[in-house]
Amino acid sequence: MEHYYNITGEKAEALRIVRSILSKTIDPDRIMCGDAKCYFPILLDGKHQKPICRLYFQRKMAIGTISTRKVETRECIDSLREISKYSYEMLTIVKKYIE
């Protein structure tokens, strides 16, 4: 179900980072990327109804984290390493999905 056919180096690295962050909570193989034109979605079980975060690579790089109420909060980041700053938000939403 994973859409790797169009994944770039930055996107692959972002997916790896998110999998690493969540690996103690959930099987990393359940964390997949989706397909969207405006952003790079990272999803639980490949389902767009279960977004973990969204990465934006236009103009300035940004990460969109998803609240338990499915509201996205977008923050600019300077590098992919900054994804780890949003570990709490990603862990919170994944725990909500697997309850």
Beta-carbon count within 10 A of 75 CB: 12
* pLDDT value at residue 5: 52
pLDDT in tens, the chain (99 residues): 444 556 779 999 999 999 999 999 999 999 999 988 999 999 999 999 999 999 999 889 999 999 999 999 999 999 999 999 999 999 999 999 999
For residue 1, the model assigns a pLDDT of: 43
Could you tell me how far CA 45 lies from the centroid of its own chain?
A: 12
Residue type at 27? D
pTM of the model: 0.90
| pLDDT the model gives residue 6 | 62
- Domains, the chain: 9-98 (3.30.720)
What is residue 2's predicted lDDT score, i.e. its pLDDT?
47
Q: How far is CA 32 from CA 7, 70, 75, in A?
A: 12, 18, 21
